[in-house]
Amino acid sequence: MICTLLSIFSFFSSAMAANRERTFIMIKPDGVQRGLVGKIIKKFEQKGFKLVALKFMWPSEELLQKHYADLSSKPFFPGLVKYMSSGPVVPMVWEGLNVVKTGRVLLGATNPADSAPGTIRGDLCIQVGRNICHGSDAVESAKKEIDLWFTEKEQISWTPANESWVYED
């Protein structure tokens, strides 16, 4: 009996933990300048993901060098840091089941020339160097990026009123 209860409990707690995966999404300076902030946020909201943190800020080159450290040897790195620090951005944390992978699907392929219609990049931009949004590529990198851009206090744990209409468990 106790074993059954424990296994039911562990099933529900692991399902709940999966629903609490987090990713780092950022609207880049071109997305802000082109007035696409609302449109991009709406895609994540309408899908059913939960907004956990959001701010509006002008990022320093130093912060962007850390954010894109993995790409520092690429020939486009200096241009990437210059573009990303050229104006304000909207960094965000979104939460939900498979949000890292699905978030990338919502954004579309890195190069908008390859992004499917219906995706954010597929519908709203043309060139890889002006692809309007960022999304973490793995759960581990999402954790690092969230910690780089947000303090613990800036991440809000809350329960949306519609949660039981988005998830069955």
Helix (H) / strand (E) element for 71: namely: none
For residue 92, what are the β-bridge partners?
25, 54
Mask of contacts with ligand DAT, 70-109, x by CB under 6 A?
Answer: -x----x---x-----------------------------
DSSP calls for 149-165: H--STTSPP---TTHHH
Among Mg ion, ligand DAT, none, what does residue 76 contact (CB within 5–8 Å per kind)?
ligand DAT
Q: In the complex with ligand DAT, which residue's Cβ is closer, 19 or 65?
A: 65
Q: Taking contact as CB under 6 A, which single stretch among the options 16-24, 33-41, 125-133, 160-168 is the one that binds ligand DAT?
A: 125-133
Least distance to ligand DAT, CB of residue 27, Å: 12
Among 124, 134, 145, 150, the active-site one is: 134
How many residues can be counted in the chain?
A: 169
Contact 94, 49 (CB under 8 A): yes
Cα separation, 66 vs 71, in Å, equals 10
Which residues 6+ apart lie within 8 Å of 108 measured at CB? 115, 116, 119, 120, 121, 122
Which residues 6+ apart lie within 8 Å of 113 measured at CB? 126, 127, 128
Q: Is 137 in the site for ligand DAT (CB under 6 A)?
A: yes
Least distance to ligand DAT, CB of residue 134, Å: 5
Among ligand DAT, Mg ion, none, what does residue 56 contact (CB within 5–8 Å per kind)?
none
Helix (H) / strand (E) element for 51: namely: strand 50-54
Out of 23, 102, 115, 131, name the contact with ligand DAT by CB under 6 A: 131
Q: Taking contact as CB under 5 A, which single stretch among the options 43-51, 74-82, 132-140, 148-156 is the one that binds Mg ion?
A: 132-140
The binding site for ligand DAT (CB under 6 A) comprises 71, 76, 80, 110, 128-129, 131, 134, 137
The binding site for Mg ion (CB under 5 A) comprises 137
